[in-house]
Amino acid sequence: MYGYRQTMQKMTLVFLFCMISVANAGTWIEQRYVDKSAGNYDKELYLKEGNFPQSEVVENLNNPTLLYRYDYGEVFETDFDHGKINVNLPYKGSYHLFIQERYVEDSILHIKMYKTRVYNSKGNIEDSLIKEIRGKTVGSHFGKEPFEAVTFEAVLQKPIKQHHINCCVYSGDIVPIKVYFKQKQLKNTPIVITTQQGWEKTVNPDSDGLLSFEIPRNTYADISKNKRFKEQLLIEAFYEENKSGIYKQKPYEKIKYYLSIPLSFHTSPLEYTSKSAGFYVVISVIAVFSLGLYYYRRKKKKIVKEIWFEED
């Protein structure tokens, strides 16, 4: 009897753990750089699913739509092949990739949106040099208008930075976000932030509907040898609509929306410059103290007077 109870308790714990894992599971787009030959790297995109950042590749989607939106308006459709996403883009520059899938399950229509920013280092740079310079220096990929081709979207606004570097996002930066539904801003929808180390936070909007969070320093890895060390976090949002209907000959009673945006960030340059700054401060203090001591001793030094004796 005692062994039976132990077995049932273990099964219950396993069941609860599985339920929690399923409830916390997310889906997002992951970017990889693959060394093809002699240091020539190609970018590959995959759709991943799991408890961030542990995941498996998603190989099949339900009625997917995959769209690239170029920073300056053009839209390109792409394909999805067993988890891998085509990155063959015509222009060099910044794109936003949108993957949307729809399916009915348990009388609920699920509409899921996976979004990420993709920088295409290859492609045609003709007629886009000024755009490239402007896009890298002022962060033109932030604060874009909501995309009319998707229903539920979050748009990253220009970060509030604690340093002078504009190209990247760093720990300590404040990231503002706006969430849209049918191109109208939602004022009461929170977001969930999860870092690769497991830190999680729910961010609620302010009175204007703006959601802001400070990127945490979530690891204390030695970055002295690799100042480009990257960390990852995942932004998720959820929304429900009480609306019934039929999709693909399947009836549904309400609609659930899900959105994910992965974000890469670097350790703040202020952290790895603080050591050199401290070194220079110490050297300066020592120099000033030594100079002051030198002048003080010179001032106090007695002048030797010569005394002459005249003999008759």
Q: Which element (helix H / strand E) includes 118?
A: strand 108-120
Identify the pLDDT of residue 144.
82
Among 199, 117, 102, which Cα is nearest to 151's? 102
Identify the pLDDT of residue 287.
77
Identify the pLDDT of residue 197.
82
| 103, 144, 146, 176, 178 from 208: Cα distances, Å | 33, 18, 17, 12, 10
Q: Which two tokens stand for residue 9?
A: 């308790």
Is residue 84 over pLDDT 60?
A: yes
Identify the pLDDT of residue 111.
96
In tens, the pLDDT along 163-199 reads 655 567 888 889 999 999 999 999 999 999 998 888 8
Is residue 294 over pLDDT 90?
A: no
Identify the pLDDT of residue 135.
45
Is residue 306 over pLDDT 80?
A: no
In tens, the pLDDT along 264-273 reads 888 776 665 5
Q: How confident is the model at residue 90 (pLDDT cuts 50, 70, 90)?
A: confident
Angstrom distance (rounded) from CA 258 to CA 189: 12
Cα angle for residues 13, 19, 20 (degrees, 5° grid): 90
Angstrom distance (rounded) from CA 155 to CA 136: 18
Q: Which residues contact 188 (CB under 8 A, 6 or more apart)?
A: 205, 209
Identify the pLDDT of residue 66.
93
Angstrom distance (rounded) from CA 7 to CA 101: 40
Identify the pLDDT of residue 301.
62
In tens, the pLDDT along 95-149 reads 899 999 999 999 999 999 999 998 887 766 665 544 554 444 445 567 788 899 9
Identify the pLDDT of residue 140.
56
Per-residue burial over 190-212, b = 16 or more CB atoms within 10 Å of its CB, e = otherwise: ebbbbbbeeeeeebebeeeeebe
**Which of 83-97, 141-155, 238-252 has maximum average pLDDT?**
238-252
Question: What single DSSP character describes residue 215?
Answer: P
Angstrom distance (rounded) from CA 289 to CA 228: 38
CB-CB contact of 54 with 67 (8 Å): no
Identify the pLDDT of residue 39.
64
Is residue 292 over pLDDT 90?
A: no
**Which of 28-37, 120-129, 225-234, 280-289 has maximum average pLDDT?**
28-37
